[in-house]
Amino acid sequence: MDWKLDPGIYFKHGTKVKLTVSHHDINEWQTLRPAVDQVTLWWLGQAGFALRYGRRAFLIDPYLSDSLAKKYRGQIFPHERMMPVPVAPEALQEIDWVFCTHRHTDHMDPTTLTSLLRSSGCRVVVPCAVLGHILENIGPAADRTTCVNAGQSVMLDENIGLHPIPAAHESLTVNTKGEHYFLGYMLQLGDIRIYHSGDCVPYDDLETILRGLKPDIALLPVNGRDTYRRSHNVPGNFHFEEALVLCQNTGIAYLIPHHYGMFEFNSVDPNDLQRKIDAAFLPVNVVLPQLNRAYCFSKS
């Protein structure tokens, strides 16, 4: 594979995890064959990511439709996409697992999931607290849906582990069974550990949990939060500075910010993020993802 270092990324901190970047977009993902110990990652927009590890492929929170624009047309927040759908769901035919962190449609989109279930043999993993909701929306593929809760550790395959973590979408929320409505997931892929927080803000015990799990890479939403959005039932996420502090305090080598550039009312300007990255010596390696890049991580 012809990997080369993107000139926009440089290493300011020593780490055992190395990153190379290829100008292959997600539509070429099936043609790439990373080494057996590498993890390749693509950003799908918003909180969505595709990952390849060995012969396995995963999606996290894919929103590959325009269903929210139809749902909210004419309302105060119209949910019009500001970026194109990077790949048609039916083109992703070798997906093994799809992980959804919570029931909001830009993370658990029935239109996307239905297409993926038709075109691949994937299984869908969701929080147990929202299992009933998704089963109502994906019909006959319900037998391919699995639920998890925070605190579990699940081996999906040899050298592939899943560790659900509580997520606070401004607050930790559980049902009467103690099942969390919002989760983050840490995927252990061989020697590389990737943490996707789901929609989340800092909360007590999060740093303690992450120090124990020791992720190498954090995928964190940085669209922030404010009273105006909260007053319209749009809970928020980390501010960029909070995401940096979390990574610094827990020894995470790479931060990949996301949850911006999709909806005008619930975003941050990536140019502002880049200026913050360029302005100071930051405590971690920060990579602003692009849709037309493949990010390959390996342990040195």
Q: At what angle do helices 110-119 and 131-138 cross, to 10 degrees?
A: 60
pLDDT tens digits along 269-289: 999 999 988 886 777 999 999
Q: What is the structure's pLDDT at 7?
A: 34
Q: What is the structure's pLDDT at 8?
A: 35
Q: Is pLDDT at 6 greater than 50 in this prediction? A: no
pLDDT tens digits along 177-233: 999 999 999 999 999 999 999 999 999 999 999 999 999 999 999 999 999 999 998
pTM for this structure? 0.93
All domains in the chain, ordered by first residue: 34-289 (3.60.15.10)
Percent of the chain with pLDDT over 90: 73
Q: What is the structure's pLDDT at 14?
A: 53
Which of 12-26, 81-95, 121-135 is predicted with the least confidence, judged by mean pLDDT?
12-26
The owner of tokens 């993802």 is: 289
